[in-house]
Amino acid sequence: MKIDLRITFLVLMLIAVLFSGCSYIKIINPDYDQPNIGTPHDLVVAHTGCGNADGSSFRAQLNSLDVTSAFRYDRSNEKWTATRYNLPLGRNTLSVSADVSVSGWCVRDDTDSHTFTVVTDCPPESYCAYFYDNPLVANATINALDATTLDYFWEYIDQLEETEEITIAEPAASRACVEPASCPSIVLTDTELKRIHAAKCAHAVWLDKNRRVNWRLHDFNEEDLRGLFAKELLFDGRSNDSFFWIVDYSPSEAYSYAADNDLIGPSIISTVNLVLNDLRTTDTHNGFLHGVRGYDGDLVDTACTLYNALTVCLPRSTGCTRISRVGCQSMARITIGLLRSLNIPGEITSHAEWYEVNHSSAVWPALQRVMPHGDDIYGADLRMTPTEEFLVPFSFYESSANTAVCGTNKDCLSHRHRALLAARYPAQWVRDRCCNPAPYGDTSCAAYLRESYSAYLTADEMTAAITTFTSLCP
């Protein structure tokens, strides 16, 4: 009798299952009939059957790596998708899970795992092949972006392949800031942030893949690439959701400016020098000047786009001149932004690492060079310095000839580099003060030079500088 009851119970359970159904979290791409696949590949997981899946509870692991953030959930069809995910070659195991709420006789299976092999089946010159050859770039871009930003990335890649430029809207807060309103910080919406980040990544990858510049991203290390792709370096603010002073939102506009003005050279360093030549004000070239509050149209409290900063000039005694509205803070960002659009990674620092506190420096780790102070671009005592010697090599900060004067204080060492250049290449501004010191509050050329540079030069260097400058006076 007990056996009959058990059989009856099991039969009833089977009938209930057949009529009520089962609930599965199932990997549907790659399919179980696909033991070998290529990459990038769409990874798709679905909830099927009875019950309701909790989209936020989804978890995915590829081998030992948590890849949950790569998936985007579509509630309408209860699917999670990682679009064009760049998979590593060889044997891989994808494991997924999600919570499912069920009722009645619904049988639940809320985990799945699938092992497959990734093989090289990328067409030559495809983006698939590109990312195979550039794993560090893949890790910094398509493997690091969330699902929404990755969708924008591929949208912009398609745009670039079709039109060779990215069309992206200026951020709303930037458009709404009508001069002379005070808005030095432009806060981005979440969509704007993702689109701009995607645009920067896509433009850099497109330039590299299509060899629009002569240097390759695979020659940079992981830390260097952060200067092109890391959100915390591309944006400002505690939440990396803002632009301060320079709204650098369109890589195509900046790149077009460089291309139209013949600023792209045969090498990285020649390109850096061409860009610096365009931006610098020297005794023979009119580039940028420091903005001055209340002076003849200078809008120092208003952010502007990078393209606006590069192309809009104001009348000055030396001719139509571009203005760095907030001095070193905006000038460092203009320089870094323009060079980033040419796949030359760099970063901004404002923490007294290379110069005085609350001043911005521009740093290029890949080049082992730094512009300690953004204002150096138009520094009056550097206006005869050859551009090839303008940036400070990292090695300068370690040379015993320099540390003997400043120790390891980088601020002092940066001032020393400037003093040495000013003494070696006499600019007109310094010559005027040496040859006619009284209007500037000094008694002699020697007094002016000592006041300006003696803290950073040796006694012999100071004497040589005084001799050089006084010999230039009539």
pLDDT tens digits for 70-122?
999 998 899 999 988 888 878 889 999 998 887 766 777 788 888 877 766 67
Surface-to-core class of residue 157, CB atoms within 10 Å of its CB (0-12 exposed, 13-18 middle, 19+ buried)? buried
Both structure tokens of 69: 């953030």
Instruction: Name the nearest CA neighbour of 444 among 471, 470, 472.
Output: 470
Burial 9-47 (b: 16+ CB within 10 A, else e): eeeeeeeeeeebbbbbbbbebbeeeeeebbbbbebbbbb
Lowest-confidence pick of 326-335, 349-358, 386-395:
349-358
Both structure tokens of 273: 């020098």
pLDDT one-digit tens code per residue, 203-236: 999 999 999 999 999 999 999 999 999 999 999 9
Q: What mean pLDDT do residues 412-417 have?
A: 97
- pLDDT recorded at residue 8: 53
Which residues is 373 bridged to in the sheet? none
Q: Which residue ranges make up each domain of the chain? A: 19-117, 402-474
Check whether 9 has a pLDDT greater than 70. no
Instruction: Among 34-48, 53-67, 287-301, 400-414, name the most confident range.
Output: 400-414
Asked whether the beta carbons of 346 and 227 are under 8 A apart, the reply is yes
- pLDDT recorded at residue 122: 73
Surface-to-core class of residue 131, CB atoms within 10 Å of its CB (0-12 exposed, 13-18 middle, 19+ buried)? buried
Distance of CA 390 to the CA centre of its chain: 23
CA distance 240 to 222: 20
**Sequence-separated (6 or more) residues with CB below 8 Å from residue 245:** 184, 185, 303, 304, 325, 326, 329, 330, 333
Tell the CATH topology of 19-117: Immunoglobulin-like (2.60.40)
**Sequence-separated (6 or more) residues with CB below 8 Å from residue 253:** 305, 306, 307
Q: What mean pLDDT do residues 304-327 have?
A: 89
The separation between the first and the last C-alpha atoms of the chain, rounded to the nearest angstrom, is 126
Burial 428-456 (b: 16+ CB within 10 A, else e): ebbbebbeebeeeebeebbebbbebbeeb
Lowest-confidence pick of 30-44, 123-137, 187-201, 339-353:
30-44
The share of the chain scoring above pLDDT 90, in percent, equals 67
Tell how strand 90-97 and strand 111-118 pair up: antiparallel
pLDDT one-digit tens code per residue, 424-451: 999 999 999 999 999 888 899 999 999 9
